[in-house]
Amino acid sequence: MRAYLRFELRRLVRDPRLAFFSIIGPVTTYVIFSGWSAGDRLEGLGAPVAVMIGLAGYGAVAGVLMVGAAVAQERAAGWLHQLRVTPLPPGGVVAVKALTGSLTAIPPVIAVGAAASIQHHVQLPAGRWIGLLLLMWVGTVPFTLLGLAIGYGLAPQVAVPVNFLVFLVLSVLGGLLAPTAYFPGVLRDLAHALPTYRYAELGWRSAAGHPPSVSGLAVLVAWTALFAVVATWAYRRSTAGR
């Protein structure tokens, strides 16, 4: 299992798409649009900090969901068949993919945070920066599992557009691109039930010096359990009989 983990880490580092989709896009968006609500307070924070966390989460989710596209390509190349004949258990393969995929969440959080510090002089105590980074890393686990479920469960030619559509819907409705404070009541209630909002909430509360909310953690745990079951089932199904 350790050898497989090292192998996946090497593949992750060599993928240039991660920098474009998960780092350059969110940083550029922050630099261009973060000043429009600079005087507002959103999610209990100044707008530059709240938008920083939302866009950092946007980049992190984009990075981890790319795992789904990579898995679809591996299926087409026959890589899953090779894994199937090894002693690696299906749950172990999914767990390694989830772990390595979640690491793609770290660079966008750092990059958008640096942009916020430079453009709007955002300052947080060192402990809050560290807590923010750790929470926004760990919080991507459900999205990594979702990407795996899509990649393992759908045909390769379908997985990529579905992956993008799911990412776009969750990001918009979950308040990563636009604050939910500007949503109508029904959409705001829907956002609170989505893993994207609860994921960003981890960052917002951490930046404000508050612990994660019990309701937010419950929503994230529920989505994580669901996506884990679906991803494992999809992996078994994609390799069965081959």
For residues 184 and 236, give the distance between their C-alpha atoms in angstroms, rounded to a whole number: 41
- Mean pLDDT, to the nearest integer, of 49-68? 90
- Mean pLDDT, to the nearest integer, of 234-239? 78
| Share above pLDDT 90 across residues of the chain, in percent, rounded to a whole number | 45
For residues 57 and 136, give the distance between their C-alpha atoms in angstroms, rounded to a whole number: 7
Considering 13-22, 32-41, 134-143, the range whose residues carry the highest mean pLDDT is 134-143
- Phi/psi at 184 (nearest 5 deg)? -70, 165
Q: Residue 22 in contact with residue 136, Cβ under 8 Å? A: no
Please count the residues of the chain: 242
For residues 31 and 204, give the distance between their C-alpha atoms in angstroms, rounded to a whole number: 19
Per-residue pLDDT band for 72 (boundaries 50, 70, 90) equals: confident
Residue 158 or residue 220, greater confidence: 220
Could you report the per-residue pLDDT of 156-207, keeping only the tens digit for each? 788 888 989 999 999 999 999 888 888 998 999 999 999 999 999 999 999 9
Q: 198-235: b or e for each residue (b if 16 or more CB lie within 10 Å)? A: bbbbbbbbbbeeeebeeebeebbeebbeebbebbbebb
- Phi/psi at 41 (nearest 5 deg)? -115, 125
Give whole-number Cα distances, 129 to 125, 135, 202, in Å. 6, 10, 12
User: What's residue 222's pLDDT?
Assistant: 97
Name residue 99's amino acid. Answer: L
For residues 32 and 204, give the distance between their C-alpha atoms in angstroms, rounded to a whole number: 21
Choose the weakest-confidence range: 19-33, 85-99, 149-163: 85-99
User: Residue 219's beta-bridge partner residues?
Assistant: none
Which residues, other chains included, contact 39 with Cβ-Cβ below 8 Å and sequence gap of 6+?
47
For residues 221, 190, 35 and 21, what is the CA-based torsion angle, rounded to 10 degrees? 60
Q: Residue 27 in contact with residue 189, Cβ under 8 Å? A: no
Per-residue pLDDT band for 224 (boundaries 50, 70, 90) equals: very high
Average pLDDT, the chain: 85
Local structure of 184: helix, strand or coil:
coil
Q: What is the pTM of this model?
A: 0.86
